Amino acid sequence: MENSYKLTDELNLLDPTTARLYHDEFDDLVLEIAGRDPERGILVVRCFPISAGDRFIALCTRKEKELGIVEDLAALDPDSRNALADALARAYFRPQITAVYAITEEHHIPRWQVDTDRGPRTFEIRSSRRDIRVLSQGRVLIRDADGNQYEIPNYRRLDVDSRALVEDQV
Amino acid sequence: MSEANTDTDPILPLATDLPAEALALLPPEETIRLSITTDIKLDGLYGPAWLLATDQRLLAFSPDGGGPPDIVNLALAEIESLEIQDLYGSGALKARTQTTGQTIALFSKTLNAKFAPLPEALEKLIRQAQPIDDDKKILRGRLDRAYLKRRCEHCGQVIPRRMGVCPSCLESSKLLNRFLAYSLPYWPLAVTSLAILLIGTFIGLTPPLLLRTLIDNVLSPAATGASNAISLPLLGPTSASGALAYLVLGLLLINVSRNILGAVRSYLLARLGEQITFDMRRQVYRHLHRLSLNFYNDRDTGRIMASVTHDVGRLQDFLSDGLQETIRNILTILIICSLLFYLNAGLAVYVLLPTPLIVLVTIHFGKRLHRIYTPLWRRWAGISALLADVIPGVRVVKAFAQEHREVEKFESRSEDLLQGELRAARTRSLFSPLMSFLTSLGTLIIWWVGGNKVLGQSMSLGEFVAFTGYMWQFYGPVESLCRLNHRFQRAATSAERVFEVLDSQPDVDDAPDAKQLPSINGRVEFRNVSFAYEPGTPVIENLSFTVEPGEMIGLAGHSGAGKSTLINLICRFYEIDEGSILVDGHDIREVQLRSLRDQVGVVLQEPFLFNGSVADNIAYGKPEATLNEIIAAAMAANAHDFICGLPDGYDSIVGERAVRLSGGERQRLSIARAILRDPRVLILDEATASMDTETEAQIQEALARLVKGRTTFAIAHRLSTLRNADRLFIIEKGRLEEMGTHNELVALDGIYARLVHMQTEMSRIRAL
């Protein structure tokens, strides 16, 4: 039997050498592929928002039709890369926790007082079991009671006090 | 707030913390109509930032107010559109003019509830500031509302997942009072039990006193040879053996009466508890059936079931066990304290010394154990979740040969659990030795201080022994009172949940002057009906149509277009916001619900069969139906043949735990159920979805009989099933977009024609 079907052909990858991304005067992301009309108002979706945030980024129209996937952010030309990174940072607001000052519990609701790369913040967690996700290498993802997300890149690298507080919770 | 509000009142509550330097940017003649504080600045850092609007402009700024790029100043007259963006970790508000677009506010999801009404408020101002066509849409996007219910509506406190009620708004004492009010009808029972409890406790505490008398008045004198000094308090001088006999008899009487009283008391209190919870359970269940569908949509089924079973049960446990134990403990402590002071005040003070220590240690350990057990429970739950996941999926595990991986996963979690359990065991095994050491401190003190007193003749030997006896009975109740708070808290939570159900009012209820709906012909009319499940997101908008008696209407349109909502409104499962729905000229809000639903029959996509026989299920809507009628209905529904093939025929038990019927068979039973009821208005909600072609044909045939002569609304995704319809209604975003026969609509070449085209394509693909 002739082996004509290749699974990876299903991928709709964008050629990083011909695709250009930038923000227009409406502050919308625009995708330009050589020889085609530019697509405005692009939405960016990470295929692996947790395990590989800078790879496999789907670009979609407002009506959620996928135009193609950027396999690796780093392969784009510098301007496009910055534009895409900027759009991703805006769409995925997930501050990184740099220190934990206190975790107090009232009525079984832990309230975290932390410092993040975006400034100090206090938030509450509804259920430590469901809303705190511990990944490999000490990486911790936290979703607070309102659906905001936070990340600890490696809780074992936090200062001693912060680390003790986090360890009590995970 | 009135619509014609064009003066200078704020539209939404104003922010109170606007910085002065920012306000200085406003021309003095403009007043603030709207302002809001957000928690993410435009540069993406946390911190307060503000958005405000006057009648002329929109301003956004960060705290320093320092100027670009963190300051936005837009004239309302130039704004073309506003977009609210629900992003993955935050939200954003973006404004566009003819030539530019920019983000004017960033906010965390914590503020979703606060930002939700903002776009509409801004829209109002924009429309005032410039002439825009009413039909032109300014707003785009929507916020996810799922998170809004996670905080208490009153105080903003996060509601724990398992509780479902706000713990800080919970007023334990008020709730428990309300709960205790349920015992009022049984007050004789309650008073008797309390009296018996009181007497029983008192009697139970007398043996050490007897012991004192035995030692001081009988044994000591006899041992020292002073037999003539033997006398009992009430009897006077007597012989040693006679006194002994009296005391033994006394102790016997005390023990017998104490145990009899105990038995009576525990029965009476149990009876009181059972009666009250019976009343409560009945009331809750009745009330549940009065409530509208809205109540059920907002809560999960498990939670509702738990309030009838688990919560009411917990209240009963609290009433018959917790409350009585508390009263008994308090009584015991009070009585022992007064006895100790009566016996020897000086020594009593010493005995009470370790009490604060015991209270502290108990509370401390309680907290510590809770801290250790919470993660432990989490690990247990993790193991159960793993099992619940893998065991049902065992076919997949085997097919992909992944047994070793599943075993490893289980073992590593099991290992975690073991470590946690060992940690808990260490704490636990520390607790009881520590407690018994603390209690023995009391004994040490009595031995030393009391012993000295006895030696110094200031205390009798009998008193000394009685003291020791009381002390042993004293610390137990103290310890258990320390754990009381937890118990009260749990009972209060349960009470809150039960009362939440009882306090909910049905949205749809009979008007006080509702009259019986007479037998109808089946003319259904919608007049400018609008409806929204959530305020602000209308599902049905200004819908008007008339359906003549006996007409069959096919409802088609994309999922989420409002078809199911429309039929929910005909059944009056929800109250419409505007307009009116008339059945044979009667407004459905003015007739009794029951009389309306009696004349409406429903066949749903997933027919629900109750546990019971086939016959019971067919006759569910008409329990008085004769066997003739039941068989006739089954025949009309093409169900008779397969029913006769079941082992017990019409007596076969169906339902969740009995004979497994196929989807088509269940559907035919539910059609028989509808036929038997003989409704004038019939609703078929996707009645033939997910059936194979042959089954569908059988059901179609049955439905054709059912539909005859009745006003019918049929929803179907597969348009071929609607070919018998007299008219088709195409619903799109809550509006009636197209109406007519199949041929008319195909000729119109609109939405319907497109749908038909797409489905023919689909069936061609399937046929390949």
pLDDT in tens, B12-25: 667 767 777 667 77
State the pLDDT confidence band at B707, using cuts at 50, 70 and 90.
confident
pLDDT at B413 over 60: yes
* Confidence grade of residue B766 (pLDDT, cut at 50, 70, 90): low
**Residue B220 confidence (pLDDT) above 70:** yes
* Closest-approach residue (CA) in chain A for B166: A107
Cα–Cα distance for residue pair B356/B482, rounded to 1 Å: 11
C-alpha dist (Å) from residue B432 to B321, B362, B363, B364, B479? 24, 10, 13, 13, 12
CA distance B170 to B492: 8
Q: Which domains does chain B have, with CATH numbers?
A: 20-150 (2.30.29.30), 172-503 (1.20.1560.10)
What pLDDT does B144 receive?
67
Tokens representing B21?
A: 């330097």
- β strands within B55-168, DSSP E: 57-61, 71-75, 81-86, 90-96, 101-108, 139-140
Question: What is the model's pLDDT at position B122?
Answer: 86
One-letter amino acid at B329 equals: N
One-letter identity of residue B244: L
Of A92, A126, A168, the CB nearest to B89: A92
- B positions 102-121 inside 8 Å of A (CB): 102-103, 106, 108-110, 112
Predicted confidence band at B535 (pLDDT cuts at 50, 70, 90)? low
User: What confidence tens digit (pLDDT) does each residue in B60-94 have?
Assistant: 887 665 544 467 788 888 888 888 888 888 899 99
The residue among A25, A26, A30 with the most chain B CBs within 10 A of its CB, best to mutate, is A26
Mean of the pLDDT values across residues B183-190? 87
Q: pLDDT-derived band of residue B172, with 50, 70 and 90 as boundaries?
A: low
Q: Do the beta carbons of residue B159 and residue B150 sit within 8 Å?
A: yes
Chain A CB contacts of B40 under 8 Å are 93, 118
Integer Cα distance of B632 and B625 in angstroms? 11
Helical ranges in A25-110 per DSSP H: 78-91
Looking at beta carbons, which residues of chain A come within 8 Å of B99? 25
pLDDT exceeds 50 at position A149 = yes
Which of A137-151, B144-158, B211-225 is the least confident region?
A: B144-158
Q: Please check the confidence at residue B182 and state whether its pLDDT lies above 90.
A: no
What are the domain boundaries of chain A? Answer: 7-91, 97-169
Question: Which helix (H) or strand (E) element contains residue B567?
Answer: helix B563-570
- The pLDDT of residue B661: 82
C-alpha distance from residue A40 to each of A22, A61, A63, B635 (Å) = 10, 8, 12, 61
Strand order in the sheet with A97-106: A97-106, A109-116, A119-124
Kindly list the residues from chain A whose CB atom is less than 8 angstroms away from the CB atom of residue B109. Answer: 146-148
pLDDT recorded at residue B110: 86
| Helix (H) or strand (E) segment spanning residue B434 | helix B403-445
C-alpha A109/C-alpha B390 separation (Å) is 31
Chain A CB within 8 Å of residue B735 CB: no
- The whole-number average pLDDT for the span B228-250 is 79
CB–CB contact B110 A119 (8 Å): no
Q: What is the mean pLDDT of residues B185-203?
A: 89
Q: Which of A19-33, B43-57, B119-133, B358-372 has the highest mean pLDDT?
A: A19-33
**Which pLDDT score is estimated for B428?**
82
Give CA–CA dist B330/B474, Å, rounded: 10
Interface touch B101/A25, C-beta < 8 Å? yes
CB atoms B100 and A25 under 8 Å: yes
- Residues 6 or more apart whose CB falls under 8 angstroms from that of B713 comprise B547, B553, B555, B566, B567, B570, B681, B682, B683, B684
**B260-280: average pLDDT:** 88
Cis peptide before B69 (omega within 30 of 0): yes
Contact A123, A94 (CB under 8 A): no
Q: What digits encode the pLDDT tens for the residues B284-332?
A: 899 988 888 878 877 777 777 877 888 888 888 887 778 888 888 998 9
What tens digit of pLDDT does each residue of B207-219 get?
A: 888 888 888 888 8
Q: Given pLDDT bands bounded at 50, 70 and 90, which one contains residue B138? A: confident
Report DSSP state, residue B659. Answer: B
Per-residue pLDDT at B767 exceeds 60: no
In B387-466, DSSP assigns E strands to none
Give the model's confidence band at B163: pLDDT under 50 very low, under 70 low, under 90 confident, else very high: low
Sign, CA torsion B35/B36/B37/B40: negative
Q: What is the pLDDT of residue B7?
A: 55
Instruction: Note the pLDDT of residue B4.
Output: 41
Contact B102, B71 (CB under 8 A): no
Which amino acid does the sequence have at B120?
E
Residue A169's closest chain B neighbor by CA? B375
pLDDT at B57 over 50: yes
Please report where in the chains the tokens 């024609």 appear, as a residue: B753
- Residues B715-729: what's their mean pLDDT? 81
Write out pLDDT tens, residues B597-607: 888 888 887 77
Nearest CB to A146 within list B106, B110, B162: B110
Nearest by CB to residue A27, choosing from B40, B101, B378, is B101
Q: At what angle do helices B693-707 and B663-677 cross, to 10 degrees?
A: 0
Contact yes or no for B217/B243 (Cβ under 8 A):
yes
The vertex-B241 CA angle with B237 and B245, nearest 5°, equals: 95
Please say whether the beta carbons of B578 and B530 come within 8 A: yes
pLDDT at B225 over 80: no
**Residue A101 clears pLDDT 90, i.e. is over it:** yes
Give the pLDDT band (50/70/90) at residue B148: low
CB B494 within 8 Å of CB B311? yes
Mutual angle of helices B627-636 and B693-707, in 10-degree steps: 120
Q: What is the pLDDT of residues B607-666, one digit of tens each?
A: 788 888 899 999 998 889 899 999 999 988 888 988 998 888 899 888 765 567 888 888
Residue B33, pLDDT above cutoff 90: no
SS3 B737: strand
H/E run at residue A29: strand A29-33
Cα(first)–Cα(last) distance of chain B, in Å?
A: 61
Q: Do A148 and B110 touch (CB under 8 A)?
A: yes
Give the tens place of pLDDT for each residue, A68-99: 899 999 999 999 999 999 999 989 999 999 99
Distance from CA of A17 to the nearest CA of B (A): 29
